[in-house]
Amino acid sequence: MKIAIVGTGYVGTALSCGFAKKNHEVVCSDLDKDKIREINNGNLPFFEKDLGNFIKDSVSKGLLRGTTSTVDAVEGADVIFLAVDTPVGKDGEINLESIKEASKDIAKGLENNKSYSVVAVKSTVTPKTTEEVIIPVLEQSGKTLGEEIGVCVNPEFLREGTALNDFLNPDRIVIGELDQKSGDKLEQVYRDFDAPIMRTGLREAELIKCASNSLLATKISFINEIGNLCKKIDIDIYDIVDGVAMDSRIERSFLNSGAGFGGSCFPKDVRALIKNIKDKGEDASILEEVVNTNDRQKTRIVDQLDQEINISDSTVAILGLSFKPGTDDIRNSPAIDIISELKNKGARVKAYDPEAMANMRKEHGSIEYVKNYREALNNCDAALIVTDWPEFNKIDRGDLKSMNNPLIIEGRKLEYDIPDKSRKGITWP
Ligand code: UGA
The alpha carbon of 159 and the centre of ligand 1 are apart by a number of angstroms equal to: 6
The pLDDT, as a whole number, for residue 36 is 97
Candidate from 261, 295, 392 with most ligand 1 atoms within 8 A of CB, to mutate: 261
Q: Is 92 in the pocket of ligand 1 (CB under 6 A)?
A: no
The pLDDT, as a whole number, for residue 51 is 87
Tell me how crowded residue 103 is: count the other CB atoms within 10 A of its CB.
27
Task: Fill in the amino acid letter for 69.
Answer: S
Judge whether 352 and 385 are in contact, CB under 8 Å: no
The pLDDT, as a whole number, for residue 120 is 98
Q: Is 160 in the pocket of ligand 1 (CB under 6 A)?
A: yes
Write the burial class of residue 303 (CB in 10 Å: 0-12 exposed, 13-18 middle, 19+ buried): exposed
State how far the Cα of 35 lies from the Cα of 67, in Å rounded to an integer: 10
- Could you confirm whether 28 is annotated as catalytic? no
The alpha carbon of 232 and the centre of ligand 1 are apart by a number of angstroms equal to: 27
For 82, residues 6+ apart whose C-beta sits below 8 A from its C-beta are 6, 7, 99, 102, 103, 106, 119, 120, 121, 122, 123, 134
The alpha carbon of 253 and the centre of ligand 1 are apart by a number of angstroms equal to: 11
Pure H helices in 260-378: 266-279, 285-298, 300-306, 334-344, 357-363, 373-377
Tell me how crowded residue 176 is: count the other CB atoms within 10 A of its CB.
28
Mean pLDDT (10-residue bins), the chain, 429 residues:
96 95 96 96 90 90 97 97 94 95 98 95 98 98 97 97 93 98 98 97 98 98 98 98 97 97 97 97 98 98 97 97 96 98 98 98 97 98 98 96 97 92 96
State how far the Cα of 111 lies from the Cα of 70, in Å rounded to an integer: 12
Q: Is 237 in the pocket of ligand 1 (CB under 6 A)?
A: no
Q: Is 73 in the pocket of ligand 1 (CB under 6 A)?
A: no
Q: Is 413 in the pocket of ligand 1 (CB under 6 A)?
A: no
Q: Is 266 in the pocket of ligand 1 (CB under 6 A)?
A: yes
Smallest Cα–Cα separation from 218: which of 125, 295, 289, 298? Answer: 289
Write the burial class of residue 263 (CB in 10 Å: 0-12 exposed, 13-18 middle, 19+ buried): buried
pTM, two decimals, is 0.97
Please give the helix or strand (H or E) that residue 10 lies within, else none. Answer: helix 10-21
The pLDDT, as a whole number, for residue 286 is 98
- From the list 28, 230, 265, 380, the catalytic residue is 265
The alpha carbon of 44 and the centre of ligand 1 are apart by a number of angstroms equal to: 21
Give, in order, the Cα–Cα distances in Å from 415 to each of 195, 238, 260, 319.
Answer: 33, 12, 19, 15
Phi (first) and psi of residue 4, to 5 degrees = -110, 140
The pLDDT, as a whole number, for residue 50 is 80
* Residue nearest atom 28 of ligand 1, based on CA coordinates: 324
**Which tens digits make up the pLDDT trace of 138-147?**
999 999 999 9
- Residue length, the chain? 429
* Residue nearest atom 13 of ligand 1, based on CA coordinates: 159
Q: Is 224 in the pocket of ligand 1 (CB under 6 A)?
A: no
The pLDDT, as a whole number, for residue 384 is 98
Helical axes 51-60 vs 10-21, angle rounded to 10°: 60
Write the burial class of residue 270 (CB in 10 Å: 0-12 exposed, 13-18 middle, 19+ buried): buried
* Residue nearest atom 18 of ligand 1, based on CA coordinates: 159
State how far the Cα of 317 lies from the Cα of 310, in Å rounded to an integer: 14
Smallest Cα–Cα separation from 270: which of 67, 126, 143? Answer: 126
